[in-house]
């Protein structure tokens, strides 16, 4: 990528864990609009999954993803192996400040965001993007990656793009594939509850948190053992 940089071209990176959906495609479309060269990474990052989480069950569909990226005319796909990203095992420990971790998903996913910043730092150094594209659905992730970029002077512009939703409002997510038909019906209540600012709409569901942070109302719910997150700007 450094040659591309030297040629004065703008590089946009869309980091993903694959199982691509319309949400990813909207990030790619924005990147294509704003950059000369677009790179999509697909890497199911083991360090951001805790013990007992869904690393093994996380949906993987590389051939379909590759076709989608080809159709979207993405310039480069970065699809590294775990050994390529973590050749020497665990080395540097990231320690995030408590104000990034005392809310939202961090409370129930210890180590998750440390794993996210670890892999993002690597992807940013490998791909050297000018701009990176993240979705608003993963709000806390976006806040933390923004801090990573400014704290470590990556000099990258971060674009946080609107959540793409199904017709009934469910935020698009690779994990939605794990929902049963009944679970999918229940899942549409998440956005309805956010819109109504009324968590009682979710009575009977396994709501992990419902909290407000800096004018954003955030939620995580488990349905069929699938952890779904969403948020709305108040
Ligand atoms: O949001 C995701 O898909 C992942 O957390 C990311 C940013 C690709 C890092 O593994």
Tokens at 123, concatenated? 């992807």
State the average pLDDT over residues 32-49: 98
For residue 89, what pLDDT is reported? Answer: 67
Nearest CA, atom 1, ligand 1: 16
For residue 93, what pLDDT is reported? Answer: 85
Mutating to test ligand 1, I would choose from 19, 134, 141 the residue with most ligand atoms within 8 A of its C-beta, which is 141
Nearest CA, atom 9, ligand 1: 116
Alpha carbon of 115 to ligand 1 centroid (Å): 10
Listed in order, strand segments (DSSP E) in 100-225 are 131-135, 157-161, 206-213, 216-223
Atom of ligand 1 lying closest to residue 138 CA: 1
Residues contacting ligand 1 via CB (< 6 Å): 15-17, 45, 48, 116, 119-120, 138, 141
Element (H, E) at 229: strand 226-233
Element (H, E) at 67: helix 62-71
Tokens at 140, concatenated? 């806390």
State the average pLDDT over residues 149-159: 98
For residue 208, what pLDDT is reported? Answer: 98
pLDDT-derived band at 174 (thresholds 50, 70, 90) equals very high
State the average pLDDT over residues 186-212: 98
For residue 90, what pLDDT is reported? Answer: 63
For the chain, what are the domain ranges?
1-161, 176-228
Atom of ligand 1 lying closest to residue 116 CA: 9
Task: Write the pLDDT tens digit of every residue in 8-18.
Answer: 999 999 999 99
pTM of the model: 0.96
pLDDT-derived band at 128 (thresholds 50, 70, 90) equals very high
DSSP at 49: S
Alpha carbon of 17 to ligand 1 centroid (Å): 6
Distances (CA, A) of 82 to 45, 160, 165, 189: 8, 27, 31, 37
DSSP at 171: B
**Superfamily grouping for domain 1-161:** HUPs (3.40.50.620)
Helix then strand then coil, in percent of the chain rounded to 5, is 45, 20, 35
Alpha carbon of 116 to ligand 1 centroid (Å): 7
Mutating to test ligand 1, I would choose from 13, 14, 17, 228 the residue with most ligand atoms within 8 A of its C-beta, which is 17
pLDDT-derived band at 5 (thresholds 50, 70, 90) equals confident
Question: What's the N-to-C CA distance of the chain in angstroms?
Answer: 39
Residues belonging to the active site: 24
Assess whether pLDDT exceeds 80 at residue 2: no
């Amino acid at each position: 990528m450094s040659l591309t940089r030297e040629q004065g071209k703008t590089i946009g990176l869309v980091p993903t864990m694959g199982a691509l959906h319309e949400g990813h495609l909207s990030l790619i479309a924005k990147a294509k609009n704003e950059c000369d060269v677009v790179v999509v990474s697909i890497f199911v990052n083991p360090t951001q999954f805790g013990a007992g989480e869904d690393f093994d069950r996380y949906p993987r569909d590389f051939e379909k993803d590759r076709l989608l990226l080809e159709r979207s005319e993405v310039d480069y796909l970065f699809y590294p192996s775990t050994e390529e990203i973590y050749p020497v095992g665990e080395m540097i420990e990231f320690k995030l400040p408590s104000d990034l971790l005392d809310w939202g998903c961090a409370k129930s996913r210890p180590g998750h965001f440390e794993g996210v910043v670890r892999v993002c730092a690597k992807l940013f150094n490998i791909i050297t993007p000018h701009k990176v594209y993240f979705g608003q659905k993963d709000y806390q992730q976006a806040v933390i990656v923004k801090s990573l970029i400014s704290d470590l002077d990556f000099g990258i512009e971060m674009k946080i793009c609107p959540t793409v939703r199904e017709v009934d409002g469910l935020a698009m997510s690779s994990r939605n594939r794990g929902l049963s038909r009944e679970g999918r019906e229940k899942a549409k209540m998440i956005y309805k509850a956010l819109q109504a600012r009324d968590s009682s709409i979710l009575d009977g569901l396994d709501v992990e948190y419902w909290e407000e942070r800096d004018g954003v109302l955030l939620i995580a719910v488990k349905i069929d053992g699938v952890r779904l997150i969403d948020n709305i700007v108040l």
